[in-house]
Amino acid sequence: MPSWTEPFTGLSPRTFGKLVTQLRREGADAPGRGRPWKLPLEDRVLLVAAYWRTNLTLRQLASLFGV
């Protein structure tokens, strides 16, 4: 989904990559309790950014991301 990064987040792919790297360093991708995530960290960050930036509903975003 690299082509979705800029339109959905307003961030350049490089800046988005730095954000994901920082989140990974802080342990956002560490396994936790409960059900494992279906989406990789990059897609989860993209989903949250798209939710905040666009006027799409969670149902619309879920169909875009296949969850």
pTM of the prediction? 0.83
* Most confident listed range (17-21, 32-36, 55-59): 17-21
Q: What angle do CA 39, 20, 67 make, to 5 degrees?
A: 15
Please report the pLDDT score of residue 2 as a whole number: 59
Q: In this structure, what DSSP letter does residue 56 have?
A: -
Q: Which two tokens stand for residue 17?
A: 């990559």
Looking from the CA of 26 toward its CB, the CA atoms found within 13 Å total 8
Asked whether the beta carbons of 11 and 49 are under 8 A apart, the reply is: yes
Q: From CA 43, how far away is CA 5, in angstroms rounded?
A: 10
